[in-house]
Structure formats: C-alpha cells, structure tokens
A and B are shown apart, each in its own frame.
Chain A
C-alpha cells in the first residue's frame, strides 16, 4: 500500500483546495482552523504525522479511515488533550498550539468523545447547566449563585432541541446509549462552540435512531451555522452531511476533497474501503 508516498500530493492539493472549495459559507473569510504539519509521537512512534489543512467558516468536514488510523488522536491534538510534538495549530488566526484544553475550549472549540464522556452521577439537567456555566466563563460560577434562573431558559431550550426534556432529572448513567449521544450533543450545543469536533457520534446508536441524530447534527451545522469536523464510520450518514471528506491512514491525511472525488480515488479505496473487486 503506497499510502505514504502518495499522501503528500494528495493532502497538499486538498489543503490548497480548502480555500476555494469550502462550501456554502463565505469563502472569503479566513479559515476557522488551520493545521500546519501537525504531528504527535509517543516515545518516538509517530501516531499522527504531518497533517496540514484548513477549515473554512461553516464548513463540515468528515473524517474517515480505518480503526487506529489516528482520527481520534487528531481530534485530541486539535482539542489540546494531546500536546502536539510537531507543527502548529491556529484557531481564528491565533496560534493555539501551546494552549491548554480549557483555554482552547474558551476560544469556542467544543467536542464530543468516541466513548460517551459524561458525568454518570449527574442528572441530564445538571449536565446542561454545567455546560452553560462553563460557557458563561469561570466567573459565572460565582455570578450564577444570584442569577441561576437565567440559565434555566437555556436549559429548557437545549433539552427541547435534543429531545431530552422528559429525561431532565435522570442520571446520565441511566440513559440509553442513544440518549447519551444526544446528551453529549446537548452539552456541546449549550456551550455554543464556534468549532465542533464530533468523534463517531453514531457509534453504538441503533439504526432507528441514526436518522434523528443525523438530522440533529445537520441542523446544528445548517441552521446554527456551526463549523463541524466529524469522525464517522457510517458512510451514508456522513455523505449526506459533509462538504468535504478527509481520509486518515497511518496517522497521515491521505486525502481531503469533495466526497465524490475522495470516493473515486483509487488510493482511498485501496487503503480504506478495501476495494479489490
């Protein structure tokens, strides 16, 4: 598999295409996120290598790639959970390569996790309250004592949007997996991030629930105009959502282009889809 040799032209062409082919949003605006040669290695073993691309305002990029390709690791690098060992990262033009997780979050970077990452002992409503509080800034923890009720409206709206109103007082640990996925989105939404990273939001969601969740993600992107990066294995889901498709393989960005172009790329087929027929 000549992944490594061919990845460079493919990825760089994708990167250069980013400014022009970015979707419906204003193409003129500067990129929300820009990665330059981003890499991460554990004890010398590279996990993510030399990833460069930029994301335009309001764009939706879906990441695919085999298990272990480094998709989650890339998201961890972007959100600051892993420290980059190479390259740099800019959010809205500001260099955030050295910033902490929470600092990046305060800049409007929100994410979900591949494995539901919630607070099992807290109620649904408290999840949303905590997120609202976080969005309002650290000082809000103190101010909220006096004006807690203000956030209740936000709470109600968010629960409504994610169809969790009837579960408001349920502990997160008691939710079904689909509801947990929704709650993750609710937590994300209430903090109104500028850039959203979704790591396999459909993982473990039953087939019946997939369309509703897809709709929710679509509305977040379309109606609220959020910029979204998403890892997903469900091709049918992401093909309906994504403006561009990124293929990760061996920690490198193998391709980044329109879904049609990517799916037609023989190298991608080879590396990811296992196409040999």
Chain B
C-alpha cells in the first residue's frame, strides 16, 4: 500500500500549501477529492495474517449459521446444558446468554471503546424493559409500538442523563452514573402510582404480545430474536467502532486531551457513545421482556451493572469478541453454577468447601477476582498471551529488575 502514494507527493505539497492560504482547515479538505488513489487499509489484522487466517475470518458467519439452526438440533450437550440443544429450556438459557452477550458488547462501547466506566448502565436496560412493558400495560400499545416506545425512552433518558454526567470525568463520572442508576432503581422499587409493581414487577400482557412469541413451543422464536439482537448489537458496535466516530472514541479512550488538541470536542462523541449504548441496552430490555415475560426490579439494580462489568472484564474489555464471550459465559455460569451449588457433589463436601461453593455469587465474585488477577485483558486476550508466552517474548514486557518501582510515579 505504500507504493501508490509515492508519486503524488509533490503535487500534494502544493495542495497543502494552497490549503494554508485559506487558513481554516475545514475548506481545504474539500478540494482533495481528485485522486482517491490508495485503498482503505481496513482491518490491520488482515494485513498481518494472510492465507489461513483469511479463511478463518469467516468463523463468525459459521458461528451465526450454527446459532441460527440450533433450535432444529436435538444434540445433547451434557454438562453444558440441561437437556438437548433444541429443547425449550436450553434455548431459553442460550437466548439469555446471547442477550447478555449483546448487552455486554453494548456496555463495552462505553468501557472498552470510549474508556467510560459507567456504573449505571442497567438503568437504560431497565428503562427499555419497563417502558415497553408499561407501554403495553398502561397505554395499551401493541407490542411493536411499545418496543419502539421503550427504546425511545432509553435513548432519551441516556441523552438526558448522559449530557449531565459526562460533564464530570473520571471517578466523578462513575459516581454520578451510579447515583442516577441508584435513583432509578429506588424509583422502580417504590412502585410510583402502582406503575412498576415494585418488588413484584409486572408481567407482560399476553394479549398484546404476538402469539408467535407466547408459549413454550415458540421458544425458538424468542431465541431467534435474541440471536437477532446479538447480531444487531455486535454489528452496530463493530460498525460504529470502525467508523470515523469510532476512531474518535478510540482516541478519547487512549488520550482524551490529545483529541481535544486536534480540535474535536470529546463531550459530543462521548455522548453519542453513551446514547448508542443506552439505546442498545434499551433494546436489550425489550428482548429481555420477551424472554422472561415481565419486568422485575432486579434488572435496575446496581448489581445488574456490576454483572455487565464482570462480563466485559471476564471476556476482555475493548476486544471485538471478548464482551460477547464474557456475557455468554457469565450468564451460563450464573445459571449453571446454581446447579453446581445445589448438586449432590457439593452437598457431600465438608462444610468449609460446601458453604462457599453453594453460593453462586461467591463463586462468581471469586472467579472475577481470579480473572482480573490471572487474566489481565480477559479471555479474549488469552490466545495472544499464550502465543507470546510460547514464542518467549513476553509481550507487555513485565518491567525488568531495574524498574522495581513501588509507586509507579516520579516526582512531578
């Protein structure tokens, strides 16, 4: 890709010089439309890895096809799933896994792509969930309209609260988002005007849901919706991240000040990320409503956000597939760890082991600590770490003996 550019350099100097006269950067960018010579370099990975890797590049498609046909399969997956792949129970669990994979991917738009540590993402998820449910229950909207209403509510709320909380940065931002989400959670619990049903939640009205989404025999449809949500989220996030805006996000994540010095206002870009992530979470709430048949306040708690955080970190924040992987694994684990916790294998253990092992949340917390500690970068970076360990080049050079430096800082 280097060759094409070479011969045009002299003319370009002139262009640049001409640009100077106009003074403002905006204008001269327009008159360089002439020679769109070099192809967009695209994904850097493709340039580094060729051949086999190019073929392997299609694995997401293969995976998607596998996911799509899963309901037709009676394949037993002992240990992983309680029942054959295509059974309603398995499909329901898989659908939840995929939903959370999508939610985590959306959340990582903030954490891993823009560097925003939000502790209040569950609020937008819960907004989509409750607004859709209430749209049907209270406004008697048909499902599709209620879903649009629900997602719009999340988007608007994200826009409103995002524009406030993004005015502070760092830990302040985390705390404000946490506080807002806490307020939301309290509001839901408080059952204002009987709307949210408080701690009991509200189940979705069966009469307003499409009949194809009701009943156990239609679990596959719900599953496909979850697949659709995941594909949509992943596509939206990947597309956005690859887009020019995504480049700005990456810049903001890595060095916000530097982006500002280029003349871009990070606030707006962060807000876009916040609203997009909020909207995707809201849409996730709609899917969740379908999957669980109702809205319950657990969805709005700060624990729900923490769960997303755990998923993202588990899988690998800022990586392409990590959050998805983390979301799927976490959801699967939190459903199946319960089985482990209740299994007879655990019940027969001495109390020192049995008591902690019978607490799924303990297992999750401990697992999380272990991942943070042992797998910096999450599961998605594991192959790269193994590869670099094998080739002997410990990639992120763990500072040599001379760098022993307890505080990591230098006198300013």
Contact = CB atoms under 8 A, between A and B. Distances in A.
Give yes or no for direct A-B contact (beta carbon below 8 Å): yes
Interface of A: 79, 81, 92, 100-106, 108, 110-111, 113, 117-123, 125-126, 129-138, 140-142, 144-145, 147-157, 159-161, 165-166, 168-169, 187, 189, 191-194, 223-226
B245 A135 contact: no
B244 A133 contact: yes
A157 B8 contact: yes
Interface stretch (B24-32, B135-143, B159-167, B355-363): B24-32
A121 B250 contact: yes
Contacts of A137: 25-26
Contact of A136 (B5, B20, B23, B25): B25
Nearest to A122: B250
A156 B15 CA distance: 13
B32 A150 contact: yes
A119 B262 contact: no
Contact of A126 (B9, B26, B247, B262): B247
Contact of B268 (A138, A148, A161): A138
B255 A118 contact: yes
Contact of A133 (B248, B261, B266, B318): B248
B268 A192 contact: no
Interface in B1-48: 1-2, 4-6, 8-9, 12-13, 15-17, 19-20, 23-26, 28-29, 32-41, 44, 47-48
B20 to A, nearest CB: 6
B294 interface: no
A102 B269 CA distance: 13
B398 to A, nearest CB: 15
Given A79-B261, A156-B5, 15 more contacts: A105-B261, A106-B25, A119-B254, A120-B254, A130-B250, A130-B251, A130-B259, A144-B243, A147-B33, A151-B29, A165-B6, A169-B47, A169-B48, A194-B23, A225-B20
A153 B36 contact: yes
**DSSP majority for the A interface?**
helix
B260 A101 contact: yes
A38 B266 CA distance: 27
Interface residues of B, number: 56
B53 interface: no
Interface string B35-72: 11111110010011000000000000000000000000
Contacts of A131: 262
Interface centre among B247, B250, B263 (most CB of A within 10 A): B263
A61 to B, nearest CB: 19
Contact of B244 (A118, A148, A157): A148
A108 B40 CA distance: 27
Interface of B: 1-2, 4-6, 8-9, 12-13, 15-17, 19-20, 23-26, 28-29, 32-41, 44, 47-48, 243-245, 247-248, 250-251, 253-255, 257-266, 268-269, 318
Contacts of A133: 244, 247-248, 264
Given A123-B44, A138-B268, A141-B248, A111 B261 contact: yes
B261 A110 contact: yes
Contact of A192 (B20, B34, B37, B41): B20
19 contacts: A101-B261, A102-B265, A103-B263, A106-B25, A108-B25, A110-B261, A117-B258, A119-B255, A126-B250, A130-B248, A136-B29, A142-B245, A151-B32, A152-B36, A154-B29, A159-B2, A160-B9, A165-B2, A191-B263
B40 A144 contact: no
B258 A119 contact: yes
Q: Which 9 A-B pairs have the closest CB atoms?
A: A156-B5, A105-B263, A134-B262, A157-B12, A119-B254, A135-B25, A144-B244, A149-B36, A136-B29
Given A81-B257, A117-B255, A130-B247, A191 B262 contact: yes
Given A101-B261, A108-B25, A152-B40, A224 B9 contact: no
A173 to B, nearest CB: 9
Contacts of A224: 13, 16-17, 20
A40 to B, nearest CB: 16
A113 B261 CA distance: 10
B29 A102 contact: no
Nearest to A58: B20
Contacts of B13: 157, 161, 223-224
A98 to B, nearest CB: 15
Contacts of B255: 117-119
Contacts of B37: 152-153, 156
Contacts of B248: 130, 133-134, 141
Nearest to A184: B258
Contact of A153 (B38, B247, B260, B266): B38
B65 to A, nearest CB: 29
Given A148-B244, A153-B12, A108 B258 contact: no
Given A152-B38, A156-B4, A145 B243 contact: yes
B276 to A, nearest CB: 13
A113 B13 CA distance: 25
A105 B32 contact: no
Contacts of A225: 17, 20
A106 B36 contact: no
B263 A141 contact: no
A197 to B, nearest CB: 9
A92 B24 CA distance: 12
Contacts of A150: 29, 32-33, 36
A36 to B, nearest CB: 23
A22 to B, nearest CB: 17
Nearest to B252: A119
Nearest to A137: B26
Contacts of A168: 1-2, 41
Given A152-B37, A157-B9, A138 B258 contact: no
